[in-house]
Amino acid sequence: MRRVIIDCDPGQDDAVALLLALISQDELDLAGITCVAGNVPLRHTVRNALRVRELSGRRNVPVYAGCPGPILRPLATAEEVHGKTGLDGVDLPEPDHGAEERHAVEFIIESCRAAPDSGITLCPIGPMTNIAMALVMAPEIRRSIREIVFMGGVALDLGNITPSAEFNIFVDPHAAEIVAKSGIPLTMFGLDVTHKALATPARRAAIESIPTPVAQAVGQMLAYYDRTDVDRYGDVGTPLHDPCVIAYLLRPELFEGRRCSVTVDTSDGPSLGRTVVDWWGKTDAPANCLVVSEIDADGFFELLNRRFAQV
């Protein structure tokens, strides 16, 4: 059983990822949920995490508010995708109680210090500001981090916020570069693979047919979330980016990838936030990241359906 911290900016796809983790308590030891500004400002991401936790019934999992903006840049958000609250389109219960008083970065540092070597897996599925700040403030915690499994970047495809950059990395490229250079084992779920995890009409209908509160809420989220990606990319459904990270922890056999050198472009200009992935091994740079590129999409949605039928 992995001990996990999920760092997020909910967001509909973040919410689906959180629900998958929260209801998989027999396989994931979820130490806490840390929130960062990203898809929407921090006040919304924290409230959304609390509402998702309330829906799952896992009120014992603590939620922490983190950094309200990137390290060096002004915050860029995505209300046009997720709505003004970040979770528009779904009716979620109001939280029974609020976030913890400690800052998210403090919680990450303290949790890693208390863990054995390679005892914690960090899962940033939003901008990596909280993770980078923890590594800068307490570099010794690297020994306790088994792996950083993140949603962000793109290797062989195009960006979704600029022609070359994916949103999470673009929002705080300097944080992402700190993480890339940390020496911690990394696993990257970029747009190359997440755009293959498509919630097609048939897959959405299968989720909507499950008569549980969680499945019904996920169906509402996907119905709202679907309205932009289909038009933008011409796909047959909306991609479920962030749940891929949690599915990998639960069923790694659903995914395939390649170990590569990954760096982040932090220079001002049109390539800001681009993940530079040495897919073909053209440099002597060491491979610091497993770049996931393939998914068994049917198996992925089968996993979601089974778990969402439980609660």
Could you give the domains of the chain?
A: 2-308 (3.90.245.10)
Lookup result for tokens 């390290």: 71
- Which entry of 44, 82, 195, 241 is annotated as an active-site residue? 241
Report the sign of the C-alpha dihedral through residues 245, 21, 197, 64, in that order: negative
pLDDT tens for each residue of 136-148: 999 999 999 999 9
The mean predicted confidence, pLDDT, of the chain is 96
Residue 125 in contact with residue 6, Cβ under 8 Å?
Answer: yes
N- to C-terminal Cα separation, the chain = 21
CB-based burial, 228-244: b 16+ in 10 Å, e otherwise: ebbeeeeeebbbbbbbb
Task: Confirm whether 241 is a catalytic residue.
Answer: yes
pLDDT tens for each residue of 29-56: 999 999 999 999 999 999 999 999 999 9
Q: Indicate the pLDDT class of residue 107, thresholds 50, 70 and 90.
A: very high
pLDDT tens for each residue of 211-267: 999 999 999 999 998 877 666 777 788 999 999 999 999 999 999 999 999 999 999
At residue 26, the pLDDT reads: 96
Rg (CA), the chain: 18
pLDDT tens for each residue of 157-179: 999 999 999 999 999 999 999 99
> Is the pTM higher than 0.85?
yes
The phi and psi torsions of 197 (rounded to 5 degrees) equal -95, 70
